[in-house]
């Protein structure tokens, strides 16, 4: 993460640059919990006769996986940048 990216994250999160990793950690955790909950819910409704519902859950999982990876990468980069 470049310094400009860290400052943009800080601005977007409404915190000082050195607070970005501490602020991102719970977001990463919550995103992973949401992803796990979505997978459990999809597993429960997987056999419903409406295939569109299953496809929508698959798309949601794909998008949450992308968000989880992006937030995780941002956390790693921000932690490296601020040295925490």
Q: Per-domain residue ranges for the chain?
A: 3-82
**The overall pTM is greater than 0.85:** no
The H or E element that residue 51 is part of is: helix 51-82
| d(C-alpha 56, C-alpha 60), whole Å | 6
Residue-wise pLDDT for 15-69, tens only, equals: 999 999 999 999 999 999 999 999 999 888 878 888 899 889 899 999 999 999 9
| Angstrom distance (rounded) from CA 45 to CA 54 | 7
Helix, strand, coil abundance in the chain, percent, nearest 5: 85, 0, 15
pLDDT at 11: 95
What does the block give as tokens for 81? 């940048």
């Amino acid at each position: 993460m470049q310094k400009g990216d860290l400052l943009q994250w800080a601005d977007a999160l409404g915190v000082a640059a050195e607070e970005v990793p501490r602020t991102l950690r719970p977001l990463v955790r919550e995103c992973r919990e949401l992803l796990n909950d979505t997978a459990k819910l999809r597993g429960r409704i997987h056999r419903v006769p409406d295939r569109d519902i299953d496809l929508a859950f698959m798309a949601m999982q794909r998008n949450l996986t992308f968000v989880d990876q992006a937030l995780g990468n941002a956390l790693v980069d921000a932690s490296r940048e601020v040295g925490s």
